[in-house]
Amino acid sequence: MDKLALLFLACVLAGFALIKLPLAGTALASIAPVTFYIGILSVLVFSLILIFKGILALIDK
């Protein structure tokens, strides 16, 4: 399996972790919206990259 695909999958999972990160009641509560939007952006970008690489793999066969 392509090592880059595993890296992109790990980035998608990290994005989901940022979306679900509980920061309420901590000193970092003020950056909670920032982590939420960074998580959404990383999930979208890396999911699109994985879909694109999958389509290219199907076309090549």
Is this model's pTM higher than 0.75 or not? Answer: yes
What DSSP letter does each residue of 1-61 carry, written as one string?
--HHHHHHHHHHHHHHHHHT---TTSTTGGGHHHHHHHHHHHHHHHHHHHHHHHHHHHHH-
pLDDT at residue 59 in the model: 94
pLDDT at residue 1 in the model: 63
Instruction: pLDDT tens for the chain, 61 residues: list them.
Output: 678 889 999 999 999 999 999 988 899 899 999 999 999 999 999 999 999 999 998 998 7
Residue 47 makes CB contacts below 8 A (sequence gap 6+) with 12
pLDDT at residue 20 in the model: 93
The first and second tokens of residue 16, run together, are: 């989901």
